[in-house]
Amino acid sequence: MPDYDVIVVGAGNAAFAAALSAKENGAEKVVVLEKAHKGMRGGNTHWSGAIFRMAFDKAEDLKPFLPGVEEKYLNFYDGIEPYTKERFWSDLNRVTQNRTDKELAEVLIDNSYDTVKWATEIAEIPCEPATSVCGIKVNGQWTFPGGVVVRAVHEGVGLSSCWFAAAEKAGIEIRYGSGATELVQDNNGRVTGVVTKEDNDSKTITANAIILACGGFEANAQWRAQYLGAPWDHAKVRGSSYNQGDGLRMALAIGALPWGQWSGRHSTPIDADWSDFADRKLTDKSNRLSYPFSIMINRKGLRFLDEGEDTNMYTYAKFGAQILNEPGSKAYQIFDQKTIQHLEPRYSTASPLIADTFEELVEMMDIDDKPTALKTINEYNKCAQSDDHFDPTQKDGVSTEGLALPKTNWAIKIDNPPYHAYPATGGITFTFGGLKVNPEAQVIGTDWRPIPGLYTAGEMVGGLFHYNYPGGSGLVSGQVFGRIAGRNAAKETA
Ligand SMILES: Cc1cc2nc3c(=O)[nH]c(=O)nc-3n(C[C@H](O)[C@H](O)[C@H](O)COP(=O)(O)OP(=O)(O)OC[C@H]3O[C@@H](n4cnc5c(N)ncnc54)[C@H](O)[C@@H]3O)c2cc1C
């Protein structure tokens, strides 16, 4: 008799979707192994903004997630456009340059709405409109870009604690400080258990099915150097320090097929002063995404990209990488009093440099070529416009004139002191490379056949995201494939 019906490795969003789904589908003894100690539990899910991207045909379809929302937000549903499956497809194809795994993308998109509904019900996750990150208020009416309207109350912290509470309520055992190191197979190649390290002891525990949901390799500097290349080994990590690629390593060691873009990752501009791993209490408050209203200057004193190329939701992932590639992996975002009011609330966690003149500001900045920095700011101001047609809610076409490197929107003069400079770097969120799975969440081997008894979900699934990713898809992917993995793993107990 195995020790458990189902072992789930990891304790993030995907793991709990899998564990609760296994329980719901008849598995009696389900265990979750969490490598972190209790105080650091929950993986990237804890750090996340907890925004869920899902397809829906009409605004009112969101009512089950947002009971009573109209009492707080007048005419709330008038500001929401339907986000059909076709639109989700089109966004996923566009941002991944058509490289998304079509078979898995179909599973993700087709199940997105039903699965988020299932997850929020089974784990009793209260939701709210994602106003502060995705919403834009125009003439008193909130509007949201396609598909990203709903998030968990208290963001990732709330989401993660709901998952833990639901698992405990369902009688799922959680073993903290239990880091799986190896998969165990029988003579037929069936995965029958894991070796896990607990209290400096290695233990083998067995089950009818194993679900790996223990994240990517974003926290592993050596793997980042190996697969993403320099300077990613120097990137600061936006989430958990425990996602070291353990699950990928264990699965590859028994012949799982690597899948997707192993050199790909999600990153964003974050505060350069944050430590190597993001603060657990401040979670995702390191983001510095109001750069369209700034100019960004590197340590050579030069601008290096068009800050106003598009709204930040369509540029932040690539700009994070571009900043990381600048000298010292650092750039300053400079604002004046006209634009400072438009900074997203997360800037309040920073200590900006503040000065009444550019000379004083540049003097304080960690810049190698200060005269060039001053020249860059002054040249920008000569070519920038007045704020008569400035519109922070959309691409306003207010562009510099005559600059070799133009700023094509929101290019108004920076001339109203005091000036504020925020240091930014590129922070890594998660990695795209993973394992090949079929639509049943079974891990596929290098012989292109499922590895019996082995499933995976969440960041470990390869192939969905390449180059970029539509914000809010990571958690929904974890829930969709976690739910499927749990259902199928439960069947193996019969
Ligand atoms: C700052 C930030 C903001 C984000 N915002 C959003 C958002 O708003 N919407 C969205 O969709 N996505 C967002 N994401 C991405 C999202 O958080 C991830 O896609 C998602 O949390 C991944 O879930 P997961 O269950 O696969 O992994 P995780 O949540 O990272 O969980 C992995 C788990 O495995 C454990 N583990 C690791 N190794 C082992 C081992 N050997 N043995 C046992 N356990 C192990 C870890 O401790 C952890 O518990 C954000 C990410 C970050 C960092």
272-281 average pLDDT score:
94
Q: Is the pLDDT of residue 314 over 80?
A: no
pLDDT at 142: 85
pLDDT at 481: 98
pLDDT at 494: 57
pLDDT confidence tier of residue 200, bands split at 50, 70 and 90: confident
Of 6-15, 130-139, 359-368, the poorest mean pLDDT is in 130-139
pTM for the full model?
Answer: 0.94
pLDDT confidence tier of residue 46, bands split at 50, 70 and 90: very high
**Which class would CATH give 4-58+84-123+153-221+433-491?**
alpha beta
Q: What percent of the chain lies above the pLDDT cut of 90?
A: 90
Which of 47, 48, 217, 246 best tests ligand 1's pocket when mutated (most atoms within 8 Å of CB)? 48
pLDDT in tens, 400-444: 999 999 999 999 999 999 999 999 999 999 999 999 999 999 999
Give the residue, by CA position, lying nearest to ligand 1 atom 3.
Answer: 48
pLDDT at 136: 74
Does ligand 1 lie within 6 Å of residue 180's CB atom?
Answer: yes
Going from the Cα of 13 to the center of ligand 1, the distance in angstroms, rounded, reads: 7
Minimum-distance ligand 1 atom for the alpha carbon of 133: 8
220-238 average pLDDT score:
97
Answer yes or no: CATH 3.90.700.10 is held by domain 268-427.
yes
The residue ranges of every structural domain in the chain are 4-58+84-123+153-221+433-491, 268-427
Comparing 457 with 131, which gets the higher pLDDT?
457
CA 196 – CA 434 distance, rounded (Å): 21
Which of 46, 127, 203, 214 best tests ligand 1's pocket when mutated (most atoms within 8 Å of CB)? 214
pLDDT in tens, 101-147: 999 999 999 999 999 999 999 999 999 999 877 777 777 888 887 79
Going from the Cα of 44 to the center of ligand 1, the distance in angstroms, rounded, reads: 3
Does ligand 1 lie within 6 Å of residue 212's CB atom?
Answer: no
Going from the Cα of 430 to the center of ligand 1, the distance in angstroms, rounded, reads: 8
pLDDT at 392: 85
Give the residue, by CA position, lying nearest to ligand 1 atom 38.
Answer: 214
Query: Across all residues in the chain, what is the average pLDDT?
Result: 95
